[in-house]
Amino acid sequence: MITNPLLSFANHLWQSTLFAAAAGLLALLLHKNQARMRYWLWLSASVKFLIPFSILTDIGDLLGRYAASTTPRLVPAAGFSALEQIGEPFTTPAAQVATPAVHLSYASVIVPLIIAVWAIGFALLVCRWARRWRRMRASVRTASALNLPIGLPVRSSSAFGEPGVFGIFRPVLLLPYGIADCLTTQEMDAIVTHELCHVRRRDNLTMLIHIVVEWLFWFHPLIWWLGARLMEERERACDEEVLRLSDPRAYAEGIIKICELYLASPLACVAGVTGGDLKRRIEAIIANRVALKLNVGRKAVLAAAALTAVAVPITMGIVNAPFVRAQSSADQKQLSGTSGQVMPHENLSFEVASVRPHVPGSPGSTGRSGIQDDPGQIQIENLSLRTLISVAFSVKAQEQLVGPGWLNDLTFDILAKPPAGYKPEQLQYLLRNLLIDRFRLSVHHETKPVRGFALVVAKGGPKLHESTGPRTFHTGRKGLIEGNQWSMSELANVLARSLGQPVTNETDLKGVYDLKLEWTPDPALESPNGPGSDMAADPGPSLFTALQEVGLRLESRKVPSDIVVVDHVERVPTEN
């Protein structure tokens, strides 16, 4: 199973690819306008790979929290839900069943291998660029200085295969040795004007930004395609600037002479004069077509696109901001998981509660994981955030809770004093409100058909005895269910927790029964979060066989299930 960071990274790549596609559509719309506008569109598509939309979503989340303290929480519209699904197609699957150890071992090998391959590619590209940069810098240091009144240093050397600009903050104009003897004054002026345009536009700086993107995302073909588009539009933008000041034919002849006399290969780490598609550039220069300036309509389209790119993720963050304590009654209904009825204990809260990350061997630690409900005190030890949420919302199977993968990684200890008149069945509501307060938890519910089981009466009828004694339950170890006054609904709930999949009661048995089931758990099927923590001491029947012995059976089928989806939860609780 792909870990959550990899899913987030996959979503970031997908979002950046969609952003680049949108930039491409806008560039196509502006194909008759100035090249500098298309250049900035392609550059924004490149920079987007460095800026996840989640940053803007987090800003919206902060704004949403502030707004939620004074106004009702916004309800996501269908359009925003669709946008979220498009923007984040790679999500943790709803069926979060227990993963066999072999799968975990497989993932533990694949993920480091992917990271190692990426690191090798990254290192090779950085080293190649650093080597070229050092070589170019050495050539500049040994080059001869020329006295040209253009406002920046000029160096000449036979090592330079074409005119270009080297450096970001202190640029230097590089000229091949003897170039002034090969070009006319008019041609030379046009070439120098082209290079000065690169300096004014800070093209070396923006080129470095894209190079960093290439290093980080070298595996994505779109990145290299974007680099070609950037170079093409960069040179066209400078061409358009030169044509405003120079003769088109002289400029074109100057570029052709440089290609004939000097150019072996373009200089690395340099904004030169021969980049892009030379044939198309020469044709455009000779034609001297005037690029259109943006009219009001196209300016409005660009402004709307920029506003949408920023506003949509921020708005999503606001809409999905976590619940606050002062919720509307509608929100309480949603949190309670009921259909139109508010549970009676949604306002219950602990009088005092201490929440701390679990530290093995800390003072007071028993070394066990679980919930101890003593009179006047509730002690929760070494339970994951996922388990706490499951208890708070009566989640019976792992696949009924969808949330970030790291929910299993964080475990906490909770020591709390319940309110006066507390009853054990109120624990889930106390815990629910604690999670909302301290972890900023927010959820929503969905009903989906999922893989599960139906508990039905086996052929031959039930072999159960109706209870007459006091109510007792015992699930002391994994593979044992024993007690009196068991209803079939309660049995289905316990089986669901053991199997890690939803189980619905379809027996039509209305009574309560004495029950004892003993079986050997199947680690490939049953969840580690079942009723007990130890395996059966002696080999025994499977769960399905044990149920057959009491006249019941489990049928595998798709069953409607209430899915609790975690919209937001903090990794670190607020202070005690």
Is residue 508 exposed (0-12), middle (13-18) or buried (19+ Cβ within 10 Å)?
exposed
Name the pairing type of β-strands 480-486 and 503-505. unpaired
* pLDDT score, position 158: 83
Q: Which of 30, 28, 36 is nearest to 241 (CA)?
A: 36
DSSP state of 33: B
Report the alpha-carbon distance of residue 274 to residue 195 in Å, rounded: 11
CA angle 296, 299, 301 (to 5 degrees): 110
Burial class (CB in 10 A: 0-12, 13-18, 19+), 564: buried
End-to-end CA distance of the chain: 35
SS percent in the chain: helix, strand, coil, step 5? 45, 20, 35
Name the amino acid, one letter, at 399.
E
Q: What was the pLDDT predicted at 287? A: 74
The label of the residue with tokens 């072996």 reads 264
Which of 518, 177, 569 lies closest to 405 in space, CA to CA?
A: 569
**pLDDT in the model for residue 75:** 45
DSSP 210: H
Phi-psi region of 370 (alpha: psi -120 to 50; beta: other; left: phi over 0): left
Helix (H, G, I), strand (E, B) or coil at 158: coil
- How many alpha carbons fall within 13 Å on the CB side of residue 223? 19
- Burial class, 379, CB count within 10 angstroms (exposed 0-12 / middle 13-18 / buried 19+): middle
Q: Residue 249: which of 203, 282, 212, 289 has the closest Cα?
A: 282
Q: What is the pLDDT of residue 50?
A: 92
Tokens representing 531 are 């009723």
| CB atoms inside a 10 Å sphere around CB 471 | 10
In tens digits, what is the pLDDT along the chain, a chain of 576 residues? 344 567 778 888 998 999 999 999 999 998 888 889 999 999 999 999 998 877 777 776 677 656 555 444 444 444 555 555 565 666 544 333 334 444 444 556 787 888 899 999 999 999 999 999 999 999 999 999 988 888 899 999 888 878 889 998 899 999 888 888 888 888 888 888 998 999 999 999 999 999 999 999 999 999 999 999 999 999 888 888 888 888 888 888 888 888 777 655 455 556 655 555 667 777 777 776 666 677 788 878 888 888 877 777 777 666 655 443 333 334 444 433 333 333 445 578 888 889 988 888 777 676 678 888 787 888 898 888 989 998 888 887 777 888 888 888 888 999 999 888 888 878 888 898 999 989 999 998 888 777 788 899 998 898 888 887 776 655 545 678 888 888 888 888 888 877 878 888 889 898 888 888 888 876 555 544 443 334 444 456 888 888 999 999 998 887 777 888 899 999 889 887
Assess contact for 490 and 509: CB atoms under 8 A.
Answer: no
DSSP string, 456-469: EEPTT----EE--S
Beta bridge partners of 377: 374
The predicted structure's pLDDT at residue 217: 95
pTM above 0.85, yes or no: no
